[in-house]
């Protein structure tokens, strides 16, 4: 055997040299079969009982996967081991499963139940890894299961499991984007999590699933800022990037004054911009607004404390060892910090230049962009960008870019000296880049233009052609700026045409001579003569320039060049390249005067010798900062998939109080109902009351005012209580500082509100306030989190007093909290103390929120209970007459099966039926009633069972021996069998005193369950949890005799041992039961429609039982 | 985030692939090979390559390209930093990170990658946590495993995952408790032709090897902390304490780690430990060039300069070099034109020199570029910036640990232009 396997190995090896993937292709059958055989030994190893063999096999398989070989045909063999005890085998099976599950969806389903079990394991690592693998299996059919698992894990005790749940969210989202809404709910919940472990992962999920839902961040903003330093480094990167975007939408531009000065018209812009927000403005409003705008302009910018918090808490991370974190903070500062504070990032970024070359590459790209906007901050580090000969070329070029951007009047001489050494480098690409850099320095800094030009002209005598060519191109651009001065340089370059062969350089020289032929009147025709000679051997780009040159010369100096031009044009006429032929034809028409030459030829000179604007040598990094720095899109200078645009600063800061309390999304609705008069009032008050506030909220919309006042109020309570638990020791200092800041702000607001109160007394306002309140109440009802709802007037005054009395403020705050909690808790609980009727109503209303606590009517019958008792209870609890009539004692309809035929049994016939009675000695067994009939002439003795052969896990309780069965007599006995929820037969021998008969009992699937009683709500709830793969739906046409409810119920209960569940509609019949051994729920519902059409739904955790049950019930209903 | 990872060796073979989301065909690497072909030097392959449907982000370490495939926006440094972390982890586990080592340990590699990323997002990158999850392969453990049937895979959630100090595992025990710190400084400098310093700066690191029982809390203070201009810390260092008192206070990870890297403020003048006298010239018209190089100690504060290694990339026109070193050995690679001279220790009484001729391609014009000289050196027992550790204290545990501090100065990117 070993020899043959070796042979196969060899063959397989040779086939794998080519493309192992071909193993898939049935066309290449030979390879396929050898591949197949080659894996036989692996399969054998996997099937063995020894863990070590399995492990060895799995290791070889994983090695195959790693090499990219196809191991998919092993799927069935591997998936069997998913429940293996050995943890390493298990892990490797997971690796395999995740890799191939997408290809073999059906087989992958076999493993699901293992993971579902794993999800309930007491060990958090196992729970987490089960969720990880379950969510990594890309099989669409298990989406509901994944959803359920994620939801459950999101409220797990272990933060590690919650973290895994956060990781699973984007997986599910990519598998089925339609789950988005539900996933957002989970994200919202996890965002509120207070552990650092979860924070990074959930923000990552947020960024992948719903980056546009910035409103979810509000209430978590401060928490995220404060946790940031303790989050693991990868999470920090994601959070910082997200917060950058958040801050851009929520705070004002800290450099607004500066940009106002720069742009001049900025003030007007805000004025008009804010005008657009208003639908209907009258003149009064406008005037007041203008006033406010000018006021705002005069006032110094005051940073929102939350904005400050972000900047303060990210700054220490510049010291991180992780380059990605440093970069993230750097970009945050670049985009968000006031100009004066940005400097701090330069040092950290320069430090990164010591890291690996890939890191340098990315950092330099970003530095290059930053240096254009803010040159000053990198100037002190100029020398750090000096180039070493050992740098890779791409790094050299980027450093050059930075150096060029940093060049100014003061440092240009040192930079040029550096450039001089670079030009001598061996790396020619780098030299070319240096020459371009010199060109750019020369254009940007007027004083050194001549020096640069001279230097470049010297380079024209360089031995390396590339260097010369590059210089020519750059010189051309420089000369264009001031051609008059430099006719000698043009002459020098004209001489070069003899030597330079690089087409771009030749073309550039020709263009220069043509353009400035008036400065070199003697040389130009001579150059054209030389060029005409070599015309046919030139490159296309040079040819075009020769035609251009001849045309320009013809127009300025037609005496000398007429014939040459004609010659060149004739040559061009028969050129191979159509561009050149076209150009020649077009130019001939334009410049050579003929009788019918059009009006254009008069203007030929103007056309050709118009003054051309000098080119602007720009950095390729200009304007790249509209991409968020540090992003992939910035690096590529193109929008990458999934890139989130960095929003512009808002004109006016949105309501800052949203971060204090629970999110308030009701603002837009509110705007509608608020009257315009009230707005007017606001406008009048505004400049008057808000002057002390600075600009933190100068143009807060009218409607948010109310929120902010009450909001910040109640928020302070939560902040105080929350900060203690959240912050770690090191943070405390800053925390308290922030708090005091907030307190101040609060006080101000409070005063403001007090002052305002008398003004606002109109009826409409009151009502709208009430509306708002009720609305919010509803909202808080939906939310489970226990943070405060808005505070009412009374509380406000109370809290104010509490704040002034510092001693007992704590206790009072507690009281306040309790009170608030009482107010904000979802109504069902507080109402509990009141009458019960209401409670019932509530429970009916929000079904999903209600916990599976015992319902007021009947406790669910989970424990084993006699059938009749169930029916009794059913009758008791439900007065519904239809139902009670429909309850049938199923045992009457029990069908008997033959165990032993009269003839084979030599006169002894045995039948059995499933009595559907509980088997008293063991609740997990199915009771089987056995009926013996002795039709033989003689009596039978010692009837008993022997040699029971069972599948593993099954058990049998034998019936007591029947000592004597006289002829013609009958006897019954009851035995119990635990079928382990499978329809496998129990085999045994039936012995009499003389004979032994081999018999077997096989249960129909319907007998493997026992009825349970559920209420309608419970049924619905359970059904909701058994979705997806656990649900099987089948359409059917009902048998003609079976179109009324009664018969349906009868037939279903005959087919399966289930009990009826009450149901409101008469179109639907519901049944429930539990499997006898494992107690898994079995839910059946039959919905009838017109003309006998019906839909059968079976929900069962055990998929096999579900499928079989569907078949049986289907059969029962259609025949 | 990270979709897949391909490992490509120097000859352009993909020898390992791993996918975290759905499988990406390895043909995506063709774009990488294209870029690799275009780049003349291996290190010139752009780290980020856009392809029609994916983006390839790669790092080159130990002559292996680690190519990550990503599909949508992600900070490139995030991926690059992670890839480097992967390489560091491999090195940590297998001692070396070579193709052979990876191939030999492919299963461990796979298990590691599986733990390090979940759905393309980093899960556990801290070496201490990983080592609890997957034990590094050692010969002894392999033997024990084959006999007892135990596995390399941990069954419990690493304690670090949940604690506030994820970098340290609980229940560490040593019989000899010791904590060693190496202060290593590197001088980066560019010296121009005339011997004047164009730019020079000092970068330093403090590497630690801490083997202490329990949960020790250490503080390390310096005599002259003002020297440190820009620092970056291991996450274990308490930043607030540093800000306020300039004291490093931390609960150390177990084993080897880099505690701190720093930059010495540029106000301080940097002492250049060696000088180079050079005369490298080519004459027009002759196929000979002169090469003359002498090294001497400059500002070494009385310490010996050791392990000196001089290397220089000679111009392409140079066919061969016929040189005579006064000490040490030299090699010249006629293919890469790389000249290396292993000098050893500089003796101030008898300065080492390397003299001789270079032969050029006959008829070729004289190369107009001059080679730069790269110098590596070591000075023991001294930190060139003058940084000194004041004291190391331990709190939280009862025993007396053995403490040790070592200083060393090295040349970093030390170049002399000629």
**pLDDT tens-digit readout, A579-629:** 999 988 888 888 877 666 666 677 777 777 777 777 777 778 888 888 888
- Express as a percent the part of chain A with pLDDT over 90: 11
Top residue of A150, A312, A389 to mutate, by most chain B CBs within 10 Å, is: A389
- The domain covering B274-380 belongs, at the CATH homologous superfamily level, to Mu homology domain, subdomain B (2.60.40.1170)
In the predicted model, is pLDDT for residue A291 greater than 60?
Answer: no
Q: For residue B184, what pLDDT is reported? A: 94
The residues in A 43-82 lying below 8 A from B, measured between CB atoms, are 51-52, 55, 59, 62-63, 65-68
pLDDT of residue A235: 92
B355 to chain A, closest Cα gap in Å: 23
**Mean pLDDT within A958-978:** 82
Strands (E), A521-658: none
Q: How far apart are CA A312 and CA A318, in angstroms?
A: 11
The segment(s) of chain B belonging to CATH 2.60.40.1170 are 178-270+384-416, 274-380
- Compute the distance between CA of residue B284 and CA of residue B365 in angstroms, rounded to an integer: 7
Residue B163: per-residue pLDDT: 62
pLDDT at B267: 66
Q: Which residues of B touch A390 (CB under 8 A)?
A: 374, 413, 415
Domain topology for B2-148: Beta-Lactamase (3.30.450)
Cα separation, A679 vs A117, in Å, equals 60
For residue A914, is pLDDT > 90?
no
Higher pLDDT, B289 or B308: B308
Residue of B nearest to A86 (CA): B151
Q: Which of A324, A383, A425 sits opposite B369 (nearest CB)?
A: A425
A791, A769 contact by CB (below 8 A): no
Q: Which residue has the higher pLDDT, A747 or B378?
A: B378
pLDDT tens sequence across B190-216? 998 888 888 888 889 999 999 998 889
> Where residue A859 falls among pLDDT bands split at 50, 70, 90?
very low
- A174 — contact with chain B (CB < 8 Å)? yes
Residue A242 in this model has a pLDDT that exceeds 90 = yes
Residues of A in contact with B162 (CB under 8 A): 158-160, 197
The pLDDT of residue A1078 is 80
B346 or A10, which is more confident: B346
Would you call A383 and B18 a contact, using CB atoms and an 8 Å cutoff?
A: no
> Taking the CB of residue B97, how many other CB atoms lie within 10 A of it?
20
**Nearest CA among A745, A740, A698 for reference residue A723:** A740
Q: What is the CA radius of gyration of chain B?
A: 25
Q: Taking 60 as the threshold, does the pLDDT of residue A692 lie above it?
A: no
| Closest Cα in chain B, distance from residue A1028 (Å) | 22
Distance from CA of B325 to the nearest CA of A (A): 24
Tell me the count of A-B CB pairs closer than 8 A: 239
Q: Give the range among A726-730, A1044-1048, B19-23, B57-61 with minimum mean pLDDT.
A: A726-730
- In chain B, residues under CATH classification 3.30.450.60 are 2-148
The arithmetic mean of pLDDT across residues A1017-1035, rounded, is: 80
Note the pLDDT of residue A241.
93
Q: Return the residue of B nearest to A59 by Cα.
A: B107
For chain A, give the percent of residues with pLDDT over 70: 71
Q: Do A642 and B72 touch (CB under 8 A)?
A: yes
Interface touch A393/B161, C-beta < 8 Å: no
Task: Give A720's pLDDT tier (boundaries 50, 70, 90).
Answer: very low
- The residue with greater pLDDT, A1081 or B8, is B8
Among B40, B41, B199, whose Cβ lies nearest the Cβ of A383? B199
Question: What is the rounded average pLDDT of the residues A931-937?
Answer: 81
In the predicted structure, residue A705 carries a pLDDT above the cut 50: no
Mutation for A interface: B23, B54, B73, B146, most A CBs within 10 A: B73
pLDDT classification of A460: cutoffs 50, 70, 90: confident
Decide if A95 and B44 are in contact by the 8 Å CB cutoff: no
Tokens of A806: 């510092």
d(CA A844, CA A851): 12
Whether residue A733 and residue B240 make contact (CB cut-off 8 A), yes or no, is yes
pLDDT for the residue numbered B39: 85
Q: What is the pLDDT of residue B281?
A: 84
Chain B residue closest in CA terms to A60? B107
Residue B347 region by backbone torsions, left for phi larger than 0, else alpha for psi between -120 and 50, else beta: beta
Higher-confidence residue of A820 and A150: namely A150
Asked if A889 is an interface residue toward chain B (Cβ–Cβ < 8 A), one would say no
Q: What fold is seen in the domain B178-270+384-416?
A: Immunoglobulin-like (2.60.40)
Using the beta-carbon criterion (under 8 Å), do A91 and B46 form an inter-chain contact?
no
Is B198 in Cβ contact with A424 (below 8 Å)?
A: no
Q: What is the pLDDT of residues A769-781, one digit of tens each?
A: 445 544 554 444 4
Kindly state the average pLDDT of the residues A652-679. 53
For A978-1010, how does the pLDDT look when each residue is reduced to its tens digit (9 = 90+)?
A: 887 777 778 888 888 877 888 888 888 888 888
| pLDDT tens profile A805-826 | 444 444 444 444 444 444 444 4
Q: What is the mean pLDDT of chain A?
A: 73
Chain B, nearest residue to A57 by Cα: B107
Instruction: Give residue A481's pLDDT.
Output: 76
Q: Per the CB < 8 Å rule, is A388 touching B190?
A: yes
Mean pLDDT of B157-161: 60
A389 touching B (Cβ < 8 Å)? yes
Quick one: pLDDT band at residue B146, thresholds 50, 70, 90? low
A96 pLDDT exceeds 80?
A: yes
Return the residue of B nearest to A93 by Cα: B111
Which residue from A347, A462, A643 is facing B73, i.e. has the nearest CB? Answer: A643
Is B121 in contact with A201 (CB distance < 8 Å)? yes
With 0.80 as the threshold, say if the pTM is over it: no
A87 near B CB under 8 A = yes
Are the Cβ atoms of A388 and B415 closer than 8 angstroms? yes
Higher pLDDT, A601 or A396: A396
Q: Taking CB atoms and an 8 Å cutoff, what residues of chain B touch A167?
A: 118-119, 121, 123
Which residues from A are below 8 Å from B1, CB to CB? Answer: 204
Tell me which residue in A324, A392, A640 faces B43 most closely, judged by beta carbons: A392
pLDDT category at A151 given cuts 50, 70, 90 is very high
């Amino acid at each position: 055997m070993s020899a043959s396997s070796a042979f196969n190995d060899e063959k397989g090896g040779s086939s794998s040299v080519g493309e192992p993937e071909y193993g898939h292709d049935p066309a290449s059958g030979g390879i396929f079969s050898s591949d197949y055989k080659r894996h036989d030994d692996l399969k054998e190893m996997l099937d063995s009982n020894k863990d070590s063999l399995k492990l060895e096999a799995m290791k070889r398989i994983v090695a195959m996967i790693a090499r990219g070989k196809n191991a998919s045909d092993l799927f069935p063999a591997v998936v069997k081991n998913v429940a293996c005890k050995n943890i390493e085998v298990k892990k490797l099976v997971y690796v395999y499963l995740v890799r191939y599950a997408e290809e073999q969806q059906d087989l992958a389903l076999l493993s699901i139940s293992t993971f579902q079990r794993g999800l309930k394991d007491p060990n958090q690592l196992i729970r987490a890894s089960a969720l990880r693998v379950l969510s990594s299996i890309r099989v669409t059919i298990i989406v509901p299961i994944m959803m359920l698992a994620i939801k459950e894990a999101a409220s797990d005790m272990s933060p590690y499991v919650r973290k895994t749940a956060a990781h699973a969210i984007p997986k599910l989202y990519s598998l089925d984007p339609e789950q988005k809404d539900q996933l957002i709910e989970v994200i919202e919940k996890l965002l509120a999590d207070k552990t650092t472990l979860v924070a990074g992962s959930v923000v990552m999920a947020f960024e992948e699933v719903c980056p546009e839902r910035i409103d979810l961040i509000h209430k978590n903003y401060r928490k995220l800022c404060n946790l940031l330093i303790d989050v693991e480094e990868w999470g920090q990167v994601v959070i910082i990037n997200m917060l950058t975007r958040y801050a851009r939408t929520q705070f004002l531009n800290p450099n607004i004054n500066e940009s106002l000065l720069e742009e001049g018209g900025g003030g007007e812009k805000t004025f008009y911009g804010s005008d657009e927000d208003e639908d209907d403005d009258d003149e009064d409003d406008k005037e007041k607004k203008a006033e406010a705008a000018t006021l705002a302009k005069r006032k110094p910018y005051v940073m929102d404390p939350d904005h400050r918090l972000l900047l303060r808490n990210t700054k220490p991370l510049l010291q991180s060892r992780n380059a990605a974190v440093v970069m993230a903070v750097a970009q945050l500062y670049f985009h968000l910090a006031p100009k004066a504070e940005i400097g701090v990032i330069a040092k950290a970024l320069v430090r990164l230049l010591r890291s690996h070359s890939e890191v340098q590459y990315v950092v330099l790209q970003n530095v290059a962009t930053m240096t254009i906007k803010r040159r000053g901050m990198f100037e002190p580090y100029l020398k750090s960008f000096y180039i070493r000969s050992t740098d890779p070329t791409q790094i050299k070029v980027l450093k050059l870019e930075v150096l060029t951007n940093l060049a100014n009047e003061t440092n240009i001489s040192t930079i040029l000296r550096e450039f001089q050494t670079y030009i001598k480098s061996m790396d020619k690409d780098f030299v070319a880049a240096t020459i371009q850099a010199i060109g750019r320095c020369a254009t940007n800094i007027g004083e050194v233009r001549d020096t640069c030009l001279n230097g470049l002209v010297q380079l024209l005598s360089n031995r390396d052609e590339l260097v010369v060519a590059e210089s020519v191109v750059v010189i051309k651009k420089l000369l264009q700026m001031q051609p008059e001065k430099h006719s000698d340089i043009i002459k020098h370059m004209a001489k070069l045409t003899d030597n330079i062969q690089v087409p771009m350089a030749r073309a550039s020289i020709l263009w220069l001579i043509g353009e400035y032929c008036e400065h070199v009147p003697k040389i130009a025709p001579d150059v054209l003569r030389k060029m005409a000679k070599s015309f046919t051997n030139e490159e296309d780009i040079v040819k075009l320039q020769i035609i251009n040159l001849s045309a320009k010369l013809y127009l300025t100096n037609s005496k000398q060049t007429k014939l040459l031009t004609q010659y060149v044009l004739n040559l061009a006429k028969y050129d191979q390249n159509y561009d050149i032929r076209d150009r020649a034809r077009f130019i001939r028409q334009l410049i050579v005067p003929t009788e019918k030459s059009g009006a254009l030829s008069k203007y030929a000179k103007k056309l050709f010798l118009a003054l051309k604007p000098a080119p602007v040598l720009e950095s390729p990094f200009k304007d790249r900062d509209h991409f968020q720095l540090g992003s992939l899109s910035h690096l590529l200078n193109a929008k990458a998939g999934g890139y989130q645009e960095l929003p512009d600063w808002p004109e006016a800061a949105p309501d800052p109080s949203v971060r204090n309390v629970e999110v308030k999304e009701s603002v837009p609705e509110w705007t509608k109902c608020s009257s315009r008069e009230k707005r007017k009032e606001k406008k009048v008050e505004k400049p008057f009351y808000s002057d002390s506030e600075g600009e933190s909220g100068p143009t807060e919309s009218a409607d948010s005012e109310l929120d902010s006042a009450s909001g910040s109020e109640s928020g302070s309570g939560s902040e105080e209580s929350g900060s203690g638990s959240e912050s770690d020791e090191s943070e405390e200092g800053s925390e308290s500082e922030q708090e005091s800041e907030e307190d101040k702000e609060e006080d101000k607001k409070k005063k403001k509100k007090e002052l305002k109160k008398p003004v606002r007394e109109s009826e409409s306002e009151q009502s709208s306030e009430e509306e708002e309140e009720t609305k919010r109440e509803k909202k808080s009802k939906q939310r489970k989190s226990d943070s405060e709802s808005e505070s009412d007037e009374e509380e406000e005054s109370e809290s104010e007093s509490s704040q002034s009395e510092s001693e007992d403020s704590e206790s009072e705050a507690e009281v306040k909290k309790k009170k608030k909690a009482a107010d904000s808790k979802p109504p069902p609980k507080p109402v509990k103390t009141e009458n019960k009727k209401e409670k019932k109503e509530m429970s009916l209303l929000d079904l999903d929120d209600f916990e599976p606590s015992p319902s007021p009517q009947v406790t669910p019958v989970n424990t084993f209970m006699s059938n009749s008792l169930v029916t009794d209870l059913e009758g008791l609890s439900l007065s519904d007459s239809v139902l009670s009539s429909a309850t049938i004692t199923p045992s009457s309809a029990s069908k008997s099966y033959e165990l032993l035929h009269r003839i084979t049994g030599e006169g002894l016939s045995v039948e059995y039926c499933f009595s559907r009675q509980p088997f008293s000695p063991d609740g997990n067994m199915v009771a089987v009633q056995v009926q013996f009939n002795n039709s033989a002439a003689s009596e039978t003795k010692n009837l008993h069972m022997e040699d029971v052969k069972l599948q593993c896990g099954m058990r049998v309780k034998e019936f007591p021996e029947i000592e004597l069965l006289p002829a013609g007599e009958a006897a019954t006995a009851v035995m119990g069998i635990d079928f382990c929820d499978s329809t496998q037969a129990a085999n045994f021998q039936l012995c009499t005193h003389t004979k032994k008969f081999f018999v077997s009992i096989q249960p129909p699937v319907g007998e493997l369950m026992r009825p349970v009683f559920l209420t309608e709500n419970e049924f619905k709830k359970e059904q909701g949890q058994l979705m997806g793969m656990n649900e099987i739906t089948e359409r059917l046409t009902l048998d003609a005799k079976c179109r009324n409810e009664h018969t349906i119920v009868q037939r279903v209960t005959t087919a399966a041992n289930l009990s009826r569940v009450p149901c409101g509609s008469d179109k639907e019949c519901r049944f429930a039961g539990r499997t006898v051994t494992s107690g898994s729920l079995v839910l059946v519902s039959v919905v009838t429609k017109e003309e006998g059409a019906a839909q059968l739904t079976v929900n069962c955790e055990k998929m096999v039982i579900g499928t079989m049950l569907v078949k049986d019930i289907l059969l029962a209903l259609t025949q | 985030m990270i979709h897949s990872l391909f490992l490509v060796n120097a000859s352009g073979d993909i020898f390992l692939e791993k996918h975290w989301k759905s499988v990406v065909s390895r043909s995506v690497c063709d774009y990488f090979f294209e870029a690799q072909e275009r780049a003349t030097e291996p290190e010139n392959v752009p780290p980020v390559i856009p392809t029609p449907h994916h983006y390839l982000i790669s790092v080159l370490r130990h002559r292996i390209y680690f190519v990550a495939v990503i599909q949508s926006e992600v900070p490139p440094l995030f991926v690059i930093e992670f890839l480097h972390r992967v390489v560091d982890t491999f090195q940590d586990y297998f001692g070396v990170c070579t193709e052979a080592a990876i191939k030999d340990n492919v299963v461990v590699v796979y298990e590691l990658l599986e733990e390090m990323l979940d759905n393309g997002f980093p899960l556990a990158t801290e070496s201490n946590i990983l080592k609890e999850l997957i034990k590094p392969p050692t010969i002894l453990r392999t033997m024990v495993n084959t006999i007892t049937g135990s596995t390399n895979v941990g069954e419990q959630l690493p304690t670090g995952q949940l604690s506030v100090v994820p970098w340290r595992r609980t229940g560490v025990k040593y019989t000899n408790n010791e904590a060693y710190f190496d202060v290593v400084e590197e001088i980066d400098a560019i010296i121009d032709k005339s011997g004047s310093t164009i730019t020079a700066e000092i970068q330093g690191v403090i590497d630690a090897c801490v083997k202490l029982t329990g949960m020790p809390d250490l503080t390390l203070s310096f005599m002259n902390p003002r020297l440190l201009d820009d620092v970056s810390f291991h996450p274990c260092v308490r930043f607030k304490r540093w800000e306020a008192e300039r004291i490093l206070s931390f609960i150390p990870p177990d084993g080897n780690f880099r505690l701190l890297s720093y930059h010495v403020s540029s106000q301080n003048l940097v002492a250049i430990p060696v000088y180079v006298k050079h005369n490298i010239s080519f004459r027009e018209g002759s196929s000979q060039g002169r090469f003359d190089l002498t090294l001497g100690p400059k500002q070494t504060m009385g310490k010996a300069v050791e392990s000196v290694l001089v290397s220089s990339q000679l111009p392409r026109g140079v066919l061969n070099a016929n040189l005579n070193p006064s000490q040490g050995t030299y090699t010249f690679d006629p293919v890469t034109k790389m000249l290396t001279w292993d000098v050893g220790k500089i003796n101030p009484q008898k300065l080492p020199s390397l003299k001789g001729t270079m032969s050029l391609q006959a008829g070729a014009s004289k190369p107009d570029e001059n080679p730069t000289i790269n110098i590596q050196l070591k000075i023991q027992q001294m930190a060139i910036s003058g940084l000194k550790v004041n004291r190391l204290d331990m709190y939280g545990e009862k025993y007396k640990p053995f403490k040790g501090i070592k200083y060393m100065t090295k040349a970093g990117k030390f170049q002399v232009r000629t």
